[in-house]
Structure 1
Amino acid sequence: MLSHNDTYKTGMHLGTILTGDQIQGAPVISQLDVNDLEPGKKYRFFFQAVQMGTGQHWYIPVVVAKGAQDGKRISLTAGVHGDELSPVNAVQRIMDNLDPEKMSGTAIAIYDLSRPAKEYTQRQWPVAQKGGSLVDLNRVWPGDEAGNNAPTRHAGILWNRLFKNNVDIALDFHTASTGGDFTMFIFADFRKAEIRQIAELFPIEQIKNDAGESGSLEMAFVEAGIPVITIEVGAPRIFDARKIAMTVEGSMNVLKHYKVIDGPIGRTSKEAGTFFGDMFETVRSTTGGYLELLVDLNDQVTPGQKVAMQRNSFGDVVAEYTVSVIGKVATIARDALTEPGSRVMQILYNSTDLNFKTGISHQSGDDY
């Protein structure tokens, strides 16, 4: 590994760069090259990311389990949004299960990517300029180190100096946004056979064949030719033990599939009876009021079925909501007070089903 001032180049790019600092006993790096790390060991770093307005830096926890033998390099990211907590617990558990001396390949865990958002357990990155605007870090990838705001620069630094040249396969873990809830769910681009294969290794509730969202970390990996899936681990701001367990089981299956670790493949989507779809129908509130859900996550729905209603402050019913497709509930609002235009729920369905009627492609931008 190189010191911060060392200009020696390894191959086509600088190797791992140590700043010389330590935080909580972990060395600080400003660039990672896993080729520099001694095989058969597990490493903890703090990655020096973008500066704050004070000139100090945000630091990102990174754990690298480098196997004794060469193999695939798999990244696991948790905390692109600050209110996503179950993914952090899931990735911690995955890394705890790994013994580098018995591995062939490398697992790289990156936690709390949106550090200022995580400090407030909120979804978006608060920017000091313009009166305190909010930026979704999952809409600015692969970023730009010379960008117009801190989160865009932050994404560029992480992409160029942490992800780039270190990752062969990517697993990006998320949850629903605050006020909502998700099934155990995967977004995967089935146009790539390898991506579909990765998704089907998870014993989960629903998988959506999805082309991806512009500016997301997933799309940055896709555009770089790196197979990737986005895994939604239920609700925000909590640890969901059941969904965390499914996440760990599926992730370990991926590591086994790529021979990073030994062992038989566990339960997959086949055993779990996963529901597959390629479209969302989004139900939005037409008025303000108190929301009463008549269905829950993963419930089957049919055209014309009433799925939610709203009452005003007097208790009068002011709106009722139905769906127009055959599918399953994928996301729902948990906030009981709902403004006009707010998302009530999304129904995952398959457009190849001759019984479907209408729908809205992809997700609405609140999650992912």
Structure 2
Amino acid sequence: MIRLVGGAAAALLLAQPIAAQTQPVGALDGIAVIDALDAADAPSGQTTRYWFRAGETATGQRWLVPVIVVKGARPGPRLLLTAGIHGDELNGIDVIHKLVAGLDRAALSGTLVAVPGLNPPGLLQNAREFAANDSRSAANLNRAMPGKVDGGHVDHHAALLWQKLLRPNADLAVDLHTQSRGTAYVMYAFASTARTKRMAELLAPDVIKLDRGDKGTVENTLTDDGVPAVTLELGMPERFDAVLVKRGVDGLLNLMREQKMLPGPVAEPPPTMVVGNALAAVRAPRGGWATLVTPLGSKVEKGQMVATMADAFGRTTDMLMAPEAGTIAAAFTDPRRERGGMIVRIIHMKDDPACAFGCP
């Protein structure tokens, strides 16, 4: 037996999800306010909405996170959907809204737990990050999981989400994102295991990146804790893209059919889908104005021109070439590029067995 003492024992305890009944502590505009969710408490065959009290503002109020529970009439898996952990990445929120609105509850087996807005301060500020601290710097909430209840404001918020909302209510999960400001993705999924690769295929993205991931993300923290999870990226920030939102909804419905949560045939991934385990970035060699020559989603050969750079007078300063053959999975949308700024990312496959699910 291993005995933990002091801080080690406390840290282990704080990382564990807390089983708790859903006990409303109040209501706001007719929506129950809760401090913990057990989706089993939601009524069968219905859609139930909650405000979940997470972290605290600098003025002592609580951040309220919207939660939607759609519980089928029959038992089945719990699919967790999250969006808005980066406050300028909005397509996933519309995916959740559209999916919930069109879901046939009478045909549903299991439970959909959807959280369309994990990062209230980021959403309010149209910012990727969480609220700034007293040093005026802001942290990435999607690097803070599972958090620490006795930590700072970001870790505290993350811990409450993890312990009392996310982890206790998930058998599998999809975290919805877009690219960051000034850039765009194709429809793009990250997967880190054979099971999550299959989940990603069912979502039918343009690209799957086999990736070991980053510490503290929703995807990797859940997967490491035994809940298979993927990240699904849907285009550009700061907008609702109707085409990508529909593709996101269709992909999730397909995943739910594979899980027997919904009836109907399961569609296999399109033959055009690209799978890679490595990225080659093309970056601006100097500040200036960039023009994309090869569009997002294009296949390129090594040495092919992908973009040009110009100075303040419009004179061409650089012709930027692809360092690897592959597919352009991400590209800039803001032509103003600082030195070292991302121009494109090219996904490709390395044969090295050590890179099977992303290079170390």
- Superposition TM-score, scaled by structure 1 size: 0.88
Q: Which of 10, 15, 19 in structure 2 is aligned with 1:13?
A: 19
Q: 1:68 & 1:300 partners in 2: Cα distance? A: 46
Contact in 1 for aligned 2:303/2:323 (Cα 8 Å) = yes
Q: 1:135 & 1:80 partners in 2: Cα distance? A: 11
Q: Which AA in structure 2 matches 1:177?
A: S
Question: In structure 2, what is the equivalent of residue 144 of structure 1?
Answer: 148
Question: In structure 2, what is the equivalent of residue 318 of structure 1?
Answer: 317
Shift of 1:214: 1.3
- Name the SS of the counterpart of 1:341 in structure 2: coil
Question: In structure 2, what is the equivalent of residue 356 of structure 1?
Answer: none
- Name the SS of the counterpart of 2:161 in structure 1: helix
Q: Which AA in structure 2 matches 1:42?
A: T
Q: 2:143 & 2:262 partners in 1: Cα distance? A: 33
After superposition, where does 1:55-94 map in structure 2 within 5 Å?
55-94=60-99
After superposition, where does 1:107-146 map in structure 2 within 5 Å?
107-130=112-135, 132-146=136-150
Gaps of 5+ in 1: 1-11, 354-360, 363-368
Deviations, residues 67-95 of structure 1 (Å, cap 9, x unaligned): 11111000111101001111111111111
Contact in 2 for aligned 1:40/1:102 (Cα 8 Å) = no
Shift of 1:210: 1.2
Question: In structure 2, what is the equivalent of residue 179 of structure 1?
Answer: 182
Question: In structure 1, what is the equivalent of residue 292 of structure 2?
Answer: 293
Deviations, residues 115-142 of structure 1 (Å, cap 9, x unaligned): 1110121211132411x21111111111
Contact in 2 for aligned 1:177/1:235 (Cα 8 Å) = yes
Gaps of 5+ in 2: 1-17, 353-357
Shift of 1:204: 2.2
Q: Which AA in structure 2 matches 1:64?
A: V
Q: 2:254 & 2:55 partners in 1: Cα distance? A: 34
Shift of 1:270: 2.9
Question: In structure 2, what is the equivalent of residue 208 of structure 1?
Answer: 209
Q: 1:319 & 1:214 partners in 2: Cα distance? A: 36
Question: In structure 2, what is the equivalent of residue 157 of structure 1?
Answer: 160
Identity percentage over the alignment?
33
Deviations, residues 268-294 of structure 1 (Å, cap 9, x unaligned): 4235x2111111001111211011111
Q: 1:105 & 1:278 partners in 2: Cα distance? A: 33
Contact in 1 for aligned 2:63/2:120 (Cα 8 Å) = yes
Contact in 1 for aligned 2:39/2:113 (Cα 8 Å) = no
Question: In structure 2, what is the equivalent of residue 284 of structure 1?
Answer: 283
Question: In structure 2, what is the equivalent of residue 223 of structure 1?
Answer: 224
- Name the SS of the counterpart of 2:240 in structure 1: coil
Q: 2:283 & 2:144 partners in 1: Cα distance? A: 26
Shift of 1:53: 1.0
Q: 1:24 & 1:248 partners in 2: Cα distance? A: 28
Q: Which AA in structure 1 matches 2:349?
A: N
Question: In structure 2, what is the equivalent of residue 233 of structure 1?
Answer: 234
Shift of 1:99: 3.0
**Is 34-43 or 288-297 further displaced after alignment?**
34-43
Deviations, residues 162-219 of structure 1 (Å, cap 9, x unaligned): 0122100001100000110000110111xx3321211111222111111111111111
- Superposition TM-score, scaled by structure 2 size: 0.90
- Name the SS of the counterpart of 1:141 in structure 2: coil
Q: 1:213 & 1:296 partners in 2: Cα distance? A: 28
Contact in 2 for aligned 1:298/1:328 (Cα 8 Å) = yes
Higher helix share: 2
Deviations, residues 94-123 of structure 1 (Å, cap 9, x unaligned): 111223333210001101111111012121
Q: 1:14 & 1:312 partners in 2: Cα distance? A: 60
Q: 2:51 & 2:97 partners in 1: Cα distance? A: 15
Aligned-pair Cα RMSD in Å = 1.6
Q: Are 1:198 and 2:199 an aligned pair?
A: yes
Number of corresponding residues:
338
